[in-house]
Amino acid sequence: MNKNFSRRDFLKIGGLAAIAGTASGTILAKAKSPEPPDKPFDDICGIPPAQIMDHGDGLPGAGDVDHEKNGFNPGEILYDFDYGKVSTLPNGQTLREYEIIALDKSIEIVPGIQFPAWTYNGRIPGPTLRATEGDRVRIRFRNGSGHPHSMHFHGFHPGEMDGVPGTGPGGMVESGGEFVYEFDAEPFGLHLYHCHVFPLARHIAKGLYGTFIVDPKEGRPPVDKEMVMVMHGIDIDFDNGNDFYAVNGIPFYYQNHPIQIKVGEKIRIYLVNILEFDFVNSFHLHANFFHYYPTGTSLTPSEFTDTIIQGQAQRGILEFTYKYPGMYMFHAHVTEFAELGWNGMFEVTA
């Protein structure tokens, strides 16, 4: 792709249909020529020509990709928590075992556009690993990719389990190799994992990241639905700038497939930002407020708001309830991010 063709050009031309060769629908909002006025421009409410513009046909967006061929569906990732294979150690400690494999994989991110991703278990984001504080976690990592990779977990663990080059054999697992990461799950909270092999930005931006939840021993207060949302970008031309933005892998997915909830249901969202190449990301909820627990390491919320900002690797837990039925948007409160894919809807029914 021409390096002079910026991500903002996607908005100007109204999508990537021409590049992809797809004649089906619009990928972003259509760019149309305005109908010629019946009167001269300077007679239309006295508005100069430069201020007259077309406002599109509604929400920007893209049609559906082939989720079956991709091998994962963001609608399923939303509710997918992997508790591992559970057993009990001789000392009485709970052991949770997980299998993770790094794979090179082509993923259709918008209709007709393939992204050569690096993945954990063939999906973006990788599996949401979940344990309870004090459990022993054992992750068998195999590298089926053509590049060296690792797994770096946020939380407490010995140095040789840190997944960083120079810390031991788990710091950089060569193609065809494997390593077992093992440590106690602590502290309780919302954490994440990602590859830490250099160039780090490229390994993260290509898709090697996932969520790691450690529940407190006494558990969290019950809710009706729990969801995981991982915010990220997609740099399709590898110019160190994002061309699309998404939650759980595919731009516009939750706009095309609104998340179903009911009036009065208590919702808990585990929200993680792993966005590369942009300094911050955000989450804004329409017509509502939420209690926010930064990093999930406290059972007391820090604020009651409708918008939060997160830097890379920041994360937090959101809890809210809707009072009225209707369609409600949630999105990044950066216009460019929302128009390039980080946009979704809650459909609230009685």
Rounded Cα gap, residues 302 and 293, in angstroms? 6
Domain that holds residue 165: 67-215
In a shared domain, residues 203 and 319: no
In a shared domain, residues 297 and 194: no
Residue 298 falls inside a structural domain: yes
In a shared domain, residues 72 and 210: yes
Residue 46 falls inside a structural domain: no
pLDDT value at residue 63:
84
Residue 49 falls inside a structural domain: no
Domain boundary among 184, 215, 246: 215
In a shared domain, residues 332 and 274: yes
**Cα dist from 289 to 93, 306, 320, whole Å:** 39, 4, 7
pLDDT value at residue 1:
39
For residue 153, give the CATH number of its domain: 2.60.40.420
In a shared domain, residues 206 and 291: no
In a shared domain, residues 170 and 106: yes
The model's pLDDT over 80-89, given as tens digits with 9 standing for 90+, comes to 999 999 999 9
Residue 128 falls inside a structural domain: yes
Residue 283 falls inside a structural domain: yes
Q: DSSP state, 49?
A: G
The model's pLDDT over 144-182, given as tens digits with 9 standing for 90+, comes to 999 999 999 999 999 999 999 999 999 999 999 999 999
Q: What is the mean pLDDT of each run of 10 residues along the chain (350 residues)?
A: 46 42 37 42 45 58 90 98 98 98 98 97 98 98 98 98 97 98 98 98 98 97 98 97 98 98 98 97 98 98 98 98 98 96 98
Rounded Cα gap, residues 64 and 322, in angstroms? 28
**Cα dist from 143 to 39, 101, 102, 212, whole Å:** 67, 6, 5, 20
Q: Note whether 57 and 64 are within 8 A (CB).
A: no
How many distinct structural domains can be found in the chain?
2
Residue 333 falls inside a structural domain: yes
What is the dihedral sign for C-alpha 167, 316, 201, 64? Answer: positive
- Residue 184 identity (one-letter amino acid): D
Cis peptide before 251 (omega within 30 of 0): no
